[in-house]
């Protein structure tokens, strides 16, 4: 098993990429701390892992709350003895996020708090635990829009994911010689509830699809497999990367017919 005897925290673990990754990591031998604000769905993810023979606990964690982030790390160490993998995956894509003129300041602030401050706080408390464990892997969910502008305006989300990418690079450089690797996973457009709620009309969906050479949205499970590589020792020489899994969208500078 690729994650045998590893301990992982996955934020946003109640659904989408987070849930699929939690299930996959557990199948590969990791003990999982599922962290989320949706207690019902988060507990369900942990129960699904236990039902398939894995080890998992759920902890309520609002990633913009420092005490919650400190606690989720403490739960990992107290329950499973250490922390080897931190997947800072929790994030939002607000339905009122638009262009710079129409996006409200409150939407900007909320998006930045969850998508950027949440990653910072995860690392703030997770890195000392990884030092105690002798190293580890941090995976931060960025996006292809950290590299490209989004065809459908979402100014706060795009800026927040650019910040996650930059932060990941700096963390990677600072902590490389401590055996702590940091990579930014950059998914393309996915068929998840988060994006489908944002692209709430067929026209919006088509506008996004036409730019993807593969001609389809990605699946959360495909991101989970990418995260598995970054979490495992197979990626032992991989740090500071923008790990792009996007159906070719960032490679396409012309719209396919």
Q: Looking at the annotation, which residues are catalytic? A: 157
Q: How many CA atoms lie within 13 A of 248 on its CB side?
A: 13
| Residue in this structure with the two tokens 């017919």, named with its chain if needed | 257
Residues 115 and 108: their CA atoms lie apart, in Å, by 10
Edge-to-edge strand list for the sheet holding 85-88: 56-60, 31-36, 7-11, 85-88, 136-141, 180-187, 242-245
Burial class (CB in 10 A: 0-12, 13-18, 19+), 251: exposed
CA-nearest of 226, 160, 217, 165 to 193 is 217
């Amino acid at each position: 098993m690729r994650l045998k005897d590893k301990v992982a925290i996955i934020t946003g673990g109640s659904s989408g990429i987070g849930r699929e990754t939690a299930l996959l990591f557990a199948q590969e031998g990791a003990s999982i701390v599922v962290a989320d604000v949706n207690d019902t769905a988060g507990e369900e993810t942990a129960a699904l892992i236990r039902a398939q023979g894995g080890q998992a606990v759920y902890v309520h964690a609002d990633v913009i709350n420092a005490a919650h982030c400190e606690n989720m790390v403490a739960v990992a160490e107290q329950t499973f003895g250490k922390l080897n993998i931190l997947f800072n995956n929790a994030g939002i894509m607000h339905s009122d996020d638009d262009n710079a003129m129409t996006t409200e300041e409150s939407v900007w602030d909320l998006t930045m708090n969850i998508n950027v401050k949440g990653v910072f706080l995860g690392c703030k408390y997770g890195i000392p635990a990884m030092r105690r464990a002798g190293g580890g892997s941090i995976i931060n969910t960025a996006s292809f829009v950290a590299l490209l502008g989004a065809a459908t305006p979402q100014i706060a989300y795009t800026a927040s994911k650019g910040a996650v990418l930059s932060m990941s690079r700096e963390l990677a450089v600072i902590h490389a010689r401590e055996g702590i690797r940091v990579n930014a996973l950059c998914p393309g457009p996915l068929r998840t509830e988060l994006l489908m709620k944002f692209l709430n009309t067929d026209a919006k969906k088509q506008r996004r699809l036409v730019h993807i050479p593969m001609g389809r949205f990605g699946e959360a499970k495909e991101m989970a497999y990418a995260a598995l590589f970054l979490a495992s020792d197979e990626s032992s020489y991989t740090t500071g990367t923008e790990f792009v899994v996007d159906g070719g969208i960032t490679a396409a500078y012309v719209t396919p017919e």
